[in-house]
Amino acid sequence: MAALVLFGGGGDLAMRMLLPSLYFLEQDGLLPDGLKIVGAARSDDGRDGYVALVRKAVSSRAAQDDLWDEAVFARFEKRLDYLALDATKPDGAESLKARVGSDDLTYFLAVSPSLYAPIVQALHAAGMTGDSTRIVLEKPVGRDLVSFLEIDEAVREAFDESQVFRIDHYLGKETVQNLIALRFGNVIFEPLWNNLSIDHVQITVAETVGIGDRWPYYDEYGALRDMLQNHMLQLLCLVAMEPPSDLDPDSVRNEKVKVLRSLRRITLEEAERVTVRGQYGPGQSEGQSVKSYEQERGQPSETETFVAVRADIDNWRWAGVPFFLRTGKRLPEKRTEIVIQFKGVPHSIFDQGDRGELVDNRLVIELQPEEDISLTVMNKRPGLDAQMQLQSIRMSLSWGVDGKGSKPPRRRIAYERLLLDALNGDSTLFVRRDEAEQAWKWVDEVAEAWGDADLKPQPYDPGTWGPDEADLLLSRTGRRWHVAGE
Ligand code: BG6
């Protein structure tokens, strides 16, 4: 029987993201015929109780896009099953096997990374890791290099790399894939995509939410491990990688891993200058009074909810081009963007008189809240002014004038693309083991440097862009963070 087994099937990720994604795929007729979806979790709600929970979660998500449809859910519900088990124990795996067999299975581990190895071992011992099975591992895989390697050993024992799908949902976002199309489907960017024309790159992943009741997970991980090790380094890789020879999973991932290998190590001496840690205090966010991180946590904590880093890539293409990365909770807006800041013109012919300021070209790849790629260029202000007047304009490269780039009817959940790819066995948009390993090596050194230098998170007010040091990180080099809409 073909089945997708969701370990942690009643948890936050399953309810908020995975099951709504699967419902949307059902609606679009994209789920394989006969595929069963089995929620596996410890609590014993029974199938009816589980279906009721799924209906609640899916209907509220689908209603946001006006896409709730009882008839679609009636179809979807027929696929659903539920199994209460302890998946880390042999009898848990055996009861799963009795329900779904051992062939044509896709496992999705939406549980704490500390359970990955025991679950994989139990599945393996039960003979449920044959060639026709696949496993999807949610990020972060591990908490550091050592725990990653421990999990990896268990995974390798049971599965071939071609069966393993390390998910990073940022790679499923429409605009991230559009970045690949933009870079490698056009000839005009490549000659400029290097240190001759690019001054620096910024990657911002800003969120307004706090940690709330996710702290049991978050307090152990912090922004460095929750966001930077995976989402942000993956974005960096896609911006910085060399053109792959094709879109084959290994061609793309070979190029990404080279970038990770070229990241300059952040040493103890450098840490204070090139990294910033922050933690939000109490205050106002989006017009509401909000608690500090420590109040949510219920005790003092040294976990960062904000991190900014200057990353340098030591290779020919990027020598001398800093990549500034920042991410945090309780920032002023939900915004994810990559900014490619080009250098100024080598010589300005517009210096005499008051002709308006020359703004350096900038490519902004916006993932959230809007999905768009825009290019800032200079042009002439229309009119018969005695002196030619200049103005900068932002051109959208996503929504073309020929109508072909028209906006999709709704923003898809990134997991839709990735679940579909995993079910079809396409791992191009998944993270290979050597990428994850390399990312952990780099991040571990940052964490170690913080520990050795005793760098504690700086407090920041909710609704601000993190500690002042984050601005200093750029202003020290004569640069500043991009402001939305510029
Ligand atoms: C998750 C992190 O991977 O990504 C969360 O664990 C974060 O802390 C989330 O809130 C952000 O995802 P998105 O798609 O809303 O930017």
Please, what are the domains in the chain? 3-167 (3.40.50.720), 173-410+432-475 (3.30.360.10)
Q: Label residue 352 by pLDDT band (50, 70, 90).
A: confident
Q: How far apart are CA 145 and CA 292, in angstroms?
A: 30
| Alpha helix stretches (DSSP H) within 275-413 | 293-297
Q: At what angle do helices 174-184 and 233-240 cross, to 10 degrees?
A: 20
What is the overall mean pLDDT for the chain? 94
Is the pLDDT confidence value at 401 over 80?
A: no
pLDDT of residue 486: 82
430 with 249: CB under 8 angstroms?
yes
Alpha helices in 44-162 (DSSP H): 46-64, 70-79, 90-100, 116-125, 145-158
Residue 11 alpha carbon to ligand 1 centre in Å: 15
Overall average pLDDT of the 379-402 stretch = 86
Which atom of ligand 1 has the smallest separation from the CA of 207?
Answer: 10
Count Cβ atoms within 10 A of the Cβ of residue 169 and give its class: 0-12 exposed, 13-18 middle, 19 or more buried: buried
pLDDT band at 196 (very low <50, low <70, confident <90, very high): very high
Q: Give, for ligand 1, the residue of 61, 226, 306 to mutate: max count of ligand atoms closer than 8 Å to Cβ.
A: 226
* Structure tokens that stand for 45 in this block: 């709600």
User: Taking residues 118-132, what's their average pLDDT?
Assistant: 96
Distance CA 25, CA 37 (A): 13
pLDDT in tens, 204-244: 999 999 998 888 999 999 999 999 999 999 999 999 999 99
If we measure between CA atoms, which residue out of 53, 34, 44, 42 comes closest to residue 8? 42
Pocket of ligand 1 (CB under 6 A): 207, 226, 336, 368
Query: What pLDDT sits at residue 405?
Result: 66
Question: What would the mean pLDDT of 336-354 be, rounded to a whole number?
Answer: 91
Instruction: Provide φ and ψ at 380, rounded to 5°.
Output: -90, 135
Residue ID of nearest Cα to ligand 1 atom 4? 227
CA of 429 to the centre of ligand 1 (A): 17
